[in-house]
A and B are shown apart, each in its own frame.
Chain A
Amino acid sequence: MIRVLGVVTMVVACVVFAGFLGLAVWQISGAPAPVNLPGLLAENLEASGVEHPVTAVLLNFRSYDTLLEIGVLVIAGIAGISMARTTSLEDPDLRTSDSLLYALQRWFVPLMLLLAGYLLWAGSDRPGGAFQAGAVLAASGVMMRLGGIPMDFLRPGMLLRLGLALGFTVFLLVAVASALAGEAFLAYPEGFAKPLILAIETVLTFSIAMVLLALFVSAPVNRAQEPEEGERG
């Protein structure tokens, strides 16, 4: 009886929460926009160095967000790695001997690497960019890992540290350098916006892929005779 009452209370609380949220959404949708953001963006798109508005917002107008975001990612990656047991990286139990996976891998990995490169380049004038490219790169890494292809750079060491920190470091260096050169923090100097954004996007792609892959690899692995999670209880 108490249990049922508890569930009913929870349902009522959630419905009330959703109701208030819906009311807020309804009121916001009726109110006129205080600032015409798309208009402002379209006026200043020329100065941003890229043609796609979302990329312009991400890496020029609000690059602070992106800088902090890659910082969060690096911290998450470091925290995840610090909990890994390094022996699990070479655990032979992890490798699958699925012939379908091997066959798919031969076709997919080069294609996915190509796609990641395309997405990175496409970000300047159409949907795409560092995050999409990084996600595809990380996915191909996951596939290679499942197939048992040795990836030595994922072992804790110099390469892993470099790969994790590269994006954040380059981004921060550009920001500080532009601040020292007399511009505002994170303001690109005149004429250098496009090459700088491209360089930052490239290193961001590598770092994002590295963080995601490291987090995938670092989940502690059960021993073979141990029951998997969820099999009991």
Chain B
Amino acid sequence: MSTQLLYAFAGVALCGIGLFGFIRLDHLLRKLLAFNLMGSGVFLVMVGLAQRGGEPDPVPQALVLTGIVVAIAATALAVVLIRRYYHLSGRTTLAAPGPERKSTTKPAADREGAEV
């Protein structure tokens, strides 16, 4: 197996792991991390596959660089949104707390005055 395939398959594995985490995990921050892992997998596939004949291809590298910057900005915005959501609802998950699920809701007394 050549080097570029090794990189590309590592990226594919990252995509799979990230997808599993994105579906499976409840906490929004963990979901965000898993989503970023998927993104990193895609970047790795693009950069890894594009080095045909040992020579790196600058075009996918530039595209991935653009992608990384956008991913950072989107992640920061997502963190801002998640913190805002936590402030407003007191919850760290999107799912409504059911009776059998462990609740992450703060007691109502604590929440008073948390948000102006």
Which A residues are within 8 Å of any B CB, using their own CB? 7, 10-11, 13-15, 17-18, 21-22, 25-26, 28-29, 33, 37-38, 41, 53-54, 56-58, 61-62, 65-66, 69, 72-73, 76-77, 79-80, 83-85, 129, 131, 135, 208, 211-212, 215-216, 218-220, 222-223, 226-227, 229-230, 232-233
Which B1-32 residues have a C-beta within 8 angstroms of A? 4-5, 8-9, 11-13, 15-17, 19-20, 23-24, 27, 29
Q: Judge whether B16 and A80 touch: CB under 8 Å.
A: no
Number of A-B contacts (CB under 8 A): 136
Alpha-carbon distance between A208 and B20 when the two chains are bound, in angstroms: 32
Q: Judge whether A76 and B76 touch: CB under 8 Å.
A: yes
- From B23, B59, B72, B102, give the contact of A62 (CB < 8 A): B59
Shortest distance from the beta carbon of A217 to any chain B beta carbon, whole Å: 10
**Which partner residue on chain B sits nearest A40 by CB separation?**
B59
- From A25, A38, A80, A208, give the contact of B8 (CB < 8 A): A25
Task: Provide a sorted-by-A list of 21 A–B residue pairs whose CB atoms are within 8 angstroms.
Answer: A7-B24, A14-B20, A14-B23, A17-B15, A18-B19, A21-B15, A21-B45, A22-B9, A29-B8, A37-B57, A54-B58, A56-B58, A65-B62, A76-B77, A84-B80, A211-B73, A215-B77, A220-B80, A222-B87, A227-B106, A230-B27
- From B8, B24, B57, B92, give the contact of A233 (CB < 8 A): B92
Alpha-carbon distance between A230 and B45 when the two chains are bound, in angstroms: 33
Alpha-carbon distance between A11 and B21 when the two chains are bound, in angstroms: 10
Q: Judge whether B20 and A54 touch: CB under 8 Å.
A: no
- From A21, A37, A54, give the contact of B12 (CB < 8 A): A21
Residues from chain B with Cβ under 8 Å of A7 in the complex: 24
Alpha-carbon distance between A107 and B68 when the two chains are bound, in angstroms: 29
Alpha-carbon distance between A131 and B84 when the two chains are bound, in angstroms: 28
Shortest distance from the beta carbon of A75 to any chain B beta carbon, whole Å: 9
- From B8, B62, B86, give the contact of A54 (CB < 8 A): B62
Q: Judge whether B70 and A17 touch: CB under 8 Å.
A: no
- From A37, A58, A227, give the contact of B65 (CB < 8 A): A58
Alpha-carbon distance between A129 and B11 when the two chains are bound, in angstroms: 26
Q: Judge whether A219 and B59 touch: CB under 8 Å.
A: no
10 residue pairs, one from A and one from B, having the closest CB atoms = A18-B16, A233-B104, A53-B58, A57-B62, A215-B76, A14-B20, A76-B73, A76-B77, A80-B80, A22-B12
Alpha-carbon distance between A10 and B21 when the two chains are bound, in angstroms: 10
Given A14-B23, A29-B8, A233-B92, 7 extra CB contacts under 8 A: A25-B8, A57-B59, A61-B59, A62-B62, A62-B63, A76-B76, A131-B68
Alpha-carbon distance between A215 and B76 when the two chains are bound, in angstroms: 6
Q: Judge whether A37 and B59 touch: CB under 8 Å.
A: yes
